[in-house]
Amino acid sequence: MAIIVHGGAGSIQEARIPAARLGAEQAAKAGWNILVNGGTAVDAAVAAAVALEDNAQFNAGYGAVLTEDGKAELDAGLMDGETLNVGAVAGVRRVKNPILAAKAMLAVPQTLIIGSGAEDFAQQRGLTMCEPEAMIEPCVYRRWQELKQKNSEPTRITDPDEKHGTIGAVAVDASNHIASAASTGGVMMKVPGRVGDTPLAGAGFYAEDGSGAAACTGQGEYFIRLVIARRAVEFMSHGYTAQEAADACVKLLTERLGGDGGLITVDAAGTVGFARNTQSMIYAYCLTSQTDPVSGW
Ligand code: ASP
């Protein structure tokens, strides 16, 4: 069994590190508790993702960054490595926990729904809904106002002054089933309707029993163009460890397109990996041999 979570690649202000690390550790532990009690990898990854979405330190769920017109448009994706079922939502504004909408999507034939259709779906499934404004954290809103005054372009993952903190979780359970979850608000000042890699299976997340799982973070367009999450799992299917696969993907991202970001991985043997080419990427993990969370950035 293993679980690893991340809290976004980018550059993190020194002062934010302790709280972000703690949030990542608590999320990893929430997922780990499910694994040790016989729960599934899907449930563990989702529990970790919910904890991260609910934590305003991260750019997912409450506290997410805003579009050019000041709205939080949220994306999330989930994959069950046993069935290869995928559930994802994009551009939702009224769903408190987008990852739970992605989980509900696992049970239907569609893989990805967007906007008001996704919100209606979440509501019909009994998920907690909210007013769009309730997802906006005051500090994020103040930053948005400053950027708006400067007519700022969409920010980049390497901007040191911006909030980064897309979240992801990958897990392998006691039955060796594997899952991957990812959730984000995207990038600050993004064009309304812009969707990055996070809700796209293969680009932002992927899981396949027998091989492994990956969840990505970074400038989404590069991850889409290189289909990074799928590649990571492909590397593991050819015998790479989780760490080797993560390293190989970051090398590819850097050398092929000069993209910025990172990813977390778990392999079928229950080892974890993490790699980035940005200044930081908050992570935390628990393993059978290491049940107290180990974290870093
Ligand atoms: N990958 C996310 C996106 O492009 C952003 C991030 O990971 O910070 O939407």
| Residue 250 maps to a domain | no
187-241: per-residue pLDDT in tens? 999 999 999 999 999 999 999 999 999 999 999 999 999 999 999 999 999 999 9
| Residue 144 maps to a domain | yes
When divided into structural domains, the chain yields a total of: 1
| Residue 46 maps to a domain | yes
Q: Which residues pair with 284 in a beta bridge?
A: 5, 295
Q: Which residue has the CA at smallest separation from atom 9 of ligand 1? A: 186
66-91: per-residue pLDDT in tens? 999 999 999 999 999 999 999 999 99
- Catalytic annotation, residues: 166
Q: What spacing in Å lies between the alpha carbon of 189 and ligand 1's midpoint?
A: 12
Give residues (CB < 6 A) around ligand 1: 8, 157, 164, 166, 184, 186-187, 196-198, 217-220
Q: Relative to the CA of 164, which ligand 1 atom is closest?
A: 8
Q: What spacing in Å lies between the alpha carbon of 184 and ligand 1's midpoint?
A: 6
CA 66 and chain centroid, separation: 17
Domain range enclosing 161: 2-210
Could you give the CA distance from residue 48 to residue 134 in angstroms, rounded to a whole number? Answer: 22
| Residue 45 maps to a domain | yes
| Residue 19 maps to a domain | yes
Q: What spacing in Å lies between the alpha carbon of 79 and ligand 1's midpoint?
A: 18
| Residue 103 maps to a domain | yes
| Residue 97 maps to a domain | yes
| Residue 20 maps to a domain | yes
Cα distances from 50 to residues 27, 57, 140, 210, 215, in angstroms, run 8, 13, 20, 26, 15
**Average per-residue pLDDT for the chain:** 96
